[in-house]
Structure 1
Amino acid sequence: MQTVQQRVAILLGSENDLSLVQAAISTLKELDIPHSVRILSAHRLGDEACRFASNARAEGFGVLIAAAGKAAHLAGTLASRTLLPVIGLPLSTSLGGLDALFSTVQMPSGYPVATVAIDGAANAALLAAQILALSDCDLLTRLEERRKAGQEAVREADSRIAKSFM
């Protein structure tokens, strides 16, 4: 039986947010996870954002990443229209990102949004990958290999630094 690999949608509140989500795009590419990037402002394109979220599962998406700054209502808007996991990525477009963080994490009961650090784009992609890996053994293996490579890089750095201070 062939399974269809689920995609990740990265949804931005504004084109200005694109540079802040590049690490998520790069991480998804590195892990060979199909993804799409869209601009769907919760305020300027609210109906379209809701329609996207409502149809996301049928379109083959498994996780939505909502990246937005300032009022950052995108993640909550999406979560209100889908049962797919939504990851909020607050961006530092104003007030150091605290306004976006507070807007993202303060969801009412029944509408959860997982939230990563301000500008934590790589972690948003990794969390999406971990969610998808629950039903994708090949992806789980790629995540394990990535984690081991990161550990080895730290060991090598430790060895190099320790030798320089002997």
Structure 2
Amino acid sequence: MPSSVLSFAELLGQCERSAVHLELRDSYAPTDRFEAWKRGERIDWEDRASWWHPYDQLITDTVARGVAIRRARVVSEPVSDYIRWEHYVTHANVVAGEEVRWLPRRQATSIALPGNDFWLFDDTLLRVHHFSGDGVVVEDEITSASEAVKLCSAAFEAVWERAVPHHLYEI
């Protein structure tokens, strides 16, 4: 079922307890913000209006409703420039209310990981991201298939248990 059935905001809006996001890639399609960072441009974190996006507000509003939002990233070390940038901009995720952790890929060898990044809502509904080789989203798949939900939930929790909290992870 394509993700056009429900948007991310709608999925998060229906969420009652938890939303977890597992990221497994070392790079994604470059964005203007990433390219600006590579040129040396930095965010003025004191000027919240300059960097606060609708996504950040959505996360803040969802957390305020009592939904726990956690994000875990499995990364190769030394990290790619893209991951270095993601680490930098994760400040916005944390301010918005996400808990974020990082797991060096070498510590994930004994974890059964799914082949794709995903969001899992209330331990029942998955939004699976399918990417091209260069990191462009090709399609998002929505599923509640029990085997997929079980694998993704177990993988996320295993990564989360081993991962380093954002404020302690140094790149």
**Does the TM-score normalized on the shorter chain lie above 0.5?**
no
Higher relative contact order (CA 8 A, sep 6+): 2
Return the TM-score normalized by structure 1. 0.30
Which one has a larger percent strand, Structure 1 or Structure 2?
2
Return the TM-score normalized by structure 2. 0.30
Which one has a larger percent helix, Structure 1 or Structure 2?
1
